Structure 1
Amino acid sequence: MNQDFLIPIKDSVVAYLALQSASCLGHSIQIHSTEEGFPDLENVQIAIFGVQEDRNSQDNFGCGEDLYLIRRKFYQLFPGNWHTNIADLGDIEKGNQVSDTYFAVREIITSLLKKNIIPVIIGGGQDITYVNYRAYDALEQSVNITAVDSRFDLGSLEEDLTSQSYLSKIIMQEPNNLFNYCNVGYQTYFNSQEEISLLDNLFFDAHRLGKAKELENIEPAFRNADIVSIDIGAVRQSEAPANNNASPNGFYGEEICAIARYAGISDKVSSFGIYEYNSKHDNNHQTAHLIAQIIWYFIEGVNFRVKDYPFSGKENYQRFTVLLEDDEPLTFYKSNKSGRWWIEINILSNNKYKRHALIPCTYKDYTDATQQIIPEKWYKAMKKMV
């Protein structure tokens, strides 16, 4: 890993940590500081780093600044009953050009992924999601993205890459490794009907805010993701004011924390980012505190991963076959470890989408199938694979 891309945590944050309880989280994390140097990443499972880049953040300039406020709140928290080794690598500074920052972010993420370390990215605009996605090119695999956002951020191909146009770049630019995009929490009045139709025509998934608040229904969206990207503007303004695009409606603090835990507990999620934090609007550091708790819940989830699919063989599942009147039977699997459900897509053994052969679903999807109602997620996955 090129450590030159990363600058140490502010000395003032390290000094502040020294005044905190000896059992708080900051004392159990390896921190990239001026005094201690760069952490040893041997046996580290999660690596946090910040991105001081705001130049492509739409109407939210300043979203790469003052990330130390998040760290101060995060270090103060107490760890759960965890066995997860965590490192804080410091921040990537703004490059001379935005492309220089992107290059550094991509290199760091790729390096961490190859070490099987989960990057947790804080700060910067949500355009960093595109860079995160491109980091997977080195792994040569198809990728699923789940974004928690009130907007789809499609933009148009003609636009430059910004926090509100990154998705069109992911969909259209080569190499195209995207298998599925899922939006959680979109608000209809922020998205044109053409955009909503386009996502449906691409067989992507989108969960409107009201539906997404029924949290048990959206858990499979995170179990199916490789990349989870959170725009802090998806949280209502009264809960998280530190975003120039904040809205009166959105998720509550406890809901976004539950979502982060879903992302963490997913065996498949291998990178996690929280973007668009703008300290200029942060009353009493409230949003910094919430982001610290979001990261806490993500780590909590990672610590309680049970290694379901794709880590265990089908002998560890109960199999259920549902006979359909006018179609081939559907096969469901229920994990003996966690009680979670999957639905199988029958594909050829040499199909490049083989790693997506089991689609996460809910018990309700199974009961619907017994009533001859085919789950929409099965239909969409089939359309993408054929």
Structure 2
Amino acid sequence: MKDISIYFDPINYTEPAYNTDLGSHIKTEKEHAFQLKKNSIALIFVGEYRGSDQNADTLSIASVVDKLTGLQWGDWKKEVYLLGQIKPGASVGDTYVALKEVVFELVKKDIFPFIIGGSQDLTYPIYQAYEKLEQTVNLLSIDSHFDLGDPNEAIKANGWLNKIILHQPNYLFNYANIGYQSYYVNAEEIDLFNQLYFDANRLGDYYTDSTLVEPLARNSDIISFDMNSIRSSDYSGNTEKSPHGFYGEDACRIMRYAGISDKLTSAGVFNLNTETGDGELSANLLAQMIWYFIEGFNQRKGDYPVCTKKNYIRYHVNIDDFKDEILFYKSDKSGRWWIEVPYPNTDRSKFHRHLLVPCTYQVYVDATKNEMPSLWWKTYQKLL
């Protein structure tokens, strides 16, 4: 692996009081010397806020690390590394390049980069890392907005998604959003999402059925979590001062689902603000979100796409006026469900990882009642 230590400054934090604390198990740069084991987690702080109205002082890295390292270590076998803080570049673009190189090197070596802090435009260089890997990806954003932005303007925290959609060569297969709030999203944005067969889920959809998160997280390669999607009563650093949004426990639940996903290979939590409101409370919330991600990561089952589907239980469903069978698969390891979408071309290699789409048991039940799964149809249209 290329030497990535040149991109980092070390982080000082309070030594753990007990050997059961997470801090006594996390390995710092002094202990790992950037020699990282495969199938591990690398925690990376990025104090880059020049793409937003915030400044670097809104992120107290030490407070987050202190809260995290004071939590209890679970019955976990996976290594967790604290790589440090990426050095800010002379320009935002320089920071992007550093982050892109770090994510690329880690993902290539089967090490999970978990990015903390900075504004959400940092999702773009994370995506660019997969271009170097020549891998089509699914991106899931936890956000009250779509953050499309104007393609003619510079990238910024509330306008980065267009840069990914229009980026050439394009490696984005699907984009999904959880938690958007309708009064923040205009009709043209909804129309665009429909035309591109993207998945948009309102905050109300989540509270009607919170299980929708699990298959979306299981289908994602990258997750971008905007802390402003959490309501101000639970996250006082919310710069939008929003009375609505996810509760703190829902943010932790989402991060646990993200950790469990075998397909997910990177994640970022952005727009963290520990200087406004109760900074200690905000740091504690983020620390617990990270804890739940580590918990989920240690509970991965090695399901698809890590393994093949040959040992899965296969279910055939026929739907009226549809000539082909719909095939469902149930994992023998975890009991989770997938739906298979046939590739309408001869060359399957580029999209092979996206042909088996995670779904819930309810999707299968609805199909047995002669209801065509919208998930199947939207994926097929993207393949076309």
- Give the C-alpha shift of residue 315 in structure 1: 2.7
- Give the C-alpha shift of residue 42 in structure 1: 3.1
What SS does structure 2 have at the residue aligned with 1:150?
A: coil
Let me know the Cα RMSD of the aligned residues: 1.5
Residue 368 of structure 1 corresponds to which residue in structure 2? 366
Q: Does 1:243 align with 2:199?
A: no
- Match 2:263 to one of 250, 268, 276: 268
Residue 70 of structure 1 corresponds to which residue in structure 2? 64
- Match 2:15 to one of 17, 24, 33: 17
Instruction: Assess if the C-alpha contact under 8 Å between 1:64 and 1:125 holds in 2.
Output: no
Q: Which amino acid aligns with 1:55?
A: R
Cα distance in 2 for partners of 1:209, 1:63 equals 30
Change (3 A) 1:257 1:194: same
- Give the C-alpha shift of residue 89 in structure 1: 0.4
Cα distance in 1 for partners of 2:258, 2:51 equals 26
Q: Which amino acid aligns with 1:344?
A: E
Instruction: Assess if the C-alpha contact under 8 Å between 2:5 and 2:34 holds in 1.
Output: no
The 5 A counterparts of 1:149-160 are 149-160=143-154
- Give the C-alpha shift of residue 131 in structure 1: 0.8
Cα distance in 2 for partners of 1:50, 1:293 equals 16
Cα distance in 1 for partners of 2:246, 2:168 equals 34
Instruction: Assess if the C-alpha contact under 8 Å between 2:37 and 2:79 holds in 1.
Output: no
- Give the C-alpha shift of residue 63 in structure 1: 6.8
The 5 A counterparts of 1:69-218 are 69-213=63-207, 214-218=209-213
Q: Does 1:321 align with 2:316?
A: yes
Give CA deviations for 1:198-248 in whole Å, capped at 9, x if unaligned. Answer: 111110001100112322122110000000110001111110111312411
Cα distance in 2 for partners of 1:316, 1:6 equals 44
Q: Which amino acid aligns with 1:355?
A: R
What SS does structure 2 have at the residue aligned with 1:245?
A: coil
Residue 350 of structure 1 corresponds to which residue in structure 2? 347
- Match 1:377 to one of 375, 378, 381: 375
Change (3 A) 1:41 1:282: farther
Instruction: Assess if the C-alpha contact under 8 Å between 1:53 and 1:93 holds in 2.
Output: no
- Give the C-alpha shift of residue 367 in structure 1: 1.0
Instruction: Assess if the C-alpha contact under 8 Å between 1:38 and 1:89 holds in 2.
Output: no
Q: Does 1:4 align with 2:6?
A: yes
What SS does structure 1 have at the residue aligned with 2:338?
A: strand
The 5 A counterparts of 1:47-58 are 47-57=42-52
- Give the C-alpha shift of residue 111 in structure 1: 0.8
What SS does structure 2 have at the residue aligned with 1:124?
A: coil
Cα distance in 1 for partners of 2:160, 2:65 equals 27
Gaps of 5+ in 1: none
- Give the C-alpha shift of residue 368 in structure 1: 0.9
- Give the C-alpha shift of residue 280 in structure 1: 1.7
- Give the C-alpha shift of residue 336 in structure 1: 1.2
Gaps of 5+ in 2: none
- Which runs of structure 1 show a deviation greater than 6 angstroms over 4 or more consecutive aligned residues? none
Give CA deviations for 1:244-291 in whole Å, capped at 9, x if unaligned. Answer: 124111111111101001000000000011000112214051111111
Change (3 A) 1:378 1:44: closer
Change (3 A) 1:64 1:97: farther
Cα distance in 2 for partners of 1:245, 1:375 equals 36
Residue 326 of structure 2 corresponds to which residue in structure 1? 330
What SS does structure 2 have at the residue aligned with 1:280?
A: coil
Instruction: Assess if the C-alpha contact under 8 Å between 1:144 and 1:181 holds in 2.
Output: yes
Cα distance in 2 for partners of 1:238, 1:201 equals 36
Cα distance in 1 for partners of 2:222, 2:109 equals 16
- Give the C-alpha shift of residue 349 in structure 1: 5.4
Q: Which amino acid aligns with 1:187?
A: Q
Cα distance in 1 for partners of 2:331, 2:47 equals 41
Cα distance in 2 for partners of 1:48, 1:245 equals 27
What SS does structure 2 have at the residue aligned with 1:233?
A: helix
Cα distance in 1 for partners of 2:147, 2:356 equals 28
Cα distance in 2 for partners of 1:141, 1:37 equals 29
Q: Does 1:286 align with 2:281?
A: yes
Cα distance in 1 for partners of 2:109, 2:133 equals 12
TM-score, normalising length: structure 1: 0.95
Residue 306 of structure 2 corresponds to which residue in structure 1? 311
What SS does structure 2 have at the residue aligned with 1:49?
A: strand
Q: Which amino acid aligns with 1:101?
A: T
Residue 234 of structure 1 corresponds to which residue in structure 2? 229
Change (3 A) 1:32 1:186: same
Q: Which amino acid aligns with 1:126?
A: Q
Cα distance in 2 for partners of 1:287, 1:123 equals 12
Instruction: Assess if the C-alpha contact under 8 Å between 1:64 and 1:124 holds in 2.
Output: no
What SS does structure 1 have at the residue aligned with 2:275?
A: helix
Instruction: Assess if the C-alpha contact under 8 Å between 1:51 and 1:64 holds in 2.
Output: no
Q: Which amino acid aligns with 1:333?
A: Y
